[in-house]
Structure 1
Amino acid sequence: MRALLAVSCLVLGVGVALCTVLLHGYAWGLALGLAATAATLVALPGGWWARLAFAIGWTALLAFVTPERAEGDYLVAADVNGYVLLLAGILVLAAGFVGVRPHRPAAADADPEVRVP
């Protein structure tokens, strides 16, 4: 079941990144794409099968469209919006790794009778 969810999150990441890349030339498109990306990263639980899969899909599409195209131009422009998009790719990948390992409460947190001075 987790593998199916991982593939779904990967495809979701590719879709959100595609929309963000195609609209990053407009300020409202870049803001909307980054807001949707951040909201999805916050909403997904940590783990390789959810948040990390989304982040890998997002950054994989960005890496795929970044090189020079056959026509000699670039899909990601070399302007402020393009550089913000590339920086966002680094941050999205870093955010994907946050929470990969599950948080285990410390021994003092597990037992309410134990008090630490």
Structure 2
Amino acid sequence: MKPVVAVGLLLGGAVVGLAAVALHTIWWGLLLGALATAATVYALPAGWWLRASFGVGWAALVGYLSVPRPEGDYVISADTNGYLLLGLAVAVLVVSLATLPRPTSRRADTGNGPSAS
């Protein structure tokens, strides 16, 4: 079930990223995209299957759309709004990956080791 949820959130992140890119040229569209993204990242629990998959999907789509098209034009404008959107993409990716839970040891602690007191 976890892989299905991860794929769904990956696609959901890509859809929200596409909406943010489509509206980023208008000030309220950029604000709406940033608030929707921030609320979703904040609401999703940390983990590979949830927050990280959404964040990777969002940042990957924004990153893909930042590459110039074959005609030579760009989907993301080279102005303040475009740079804010790219900065938001970096921030979403960093927060999504930096808040992953720490890995736990699979060995059972026997209590025979040195004390950390």
TM-score by length of 1: 0.84
Query: Can you give the 5+ residue segments of structure 1 that lack an aligned partner in the other structure?
Result: 105-117
1:45 deviates by: 0.5
1:70 deviates by: 1.8
Match of 1:84 in 2: 84
State, as a whole percentage, how many aligned pairs show the same letter.
44
Query: Can you give the 5+ residue segments of structure 2 that lack an aligned partner in the other structure?
Result: 105-117
Match of 1:93 in 2: 93
Amino acid at match of 1:14: A
TM-score by length of 2: 0.84
Matches of 1:97 and 1:67, distance apart in 2: 23
Match of 1:109 in 2: none
For this pair of structures, how many residues does the alignment match?
Answer: 104
3-state SS of paired residue (1:82): helix
State how 1:15-30 maps to structure 2 within 5 Å: 15-30=15-30
- Residue 40 in 1 paired to residue 40 in 2? yes
- Report if the CA contact (8 A) 1:46-1:98 is conserved: no
Amino acid at match of 1:35: L
- Residue 7 in 1 paired to residue 7 in 2? yes
3-state SS of paired residue (2:87): helix
Match of 1:111 in 2: none
Match of 1:61 in 2: 61
- Residue 71 in 1 paired to residue 67 in 2? no
Structure 1, 68-77 or 42-51: larger mean CA deviation: 68-77
RMSD of aligned residue pairs (Cα, Å): 1.5
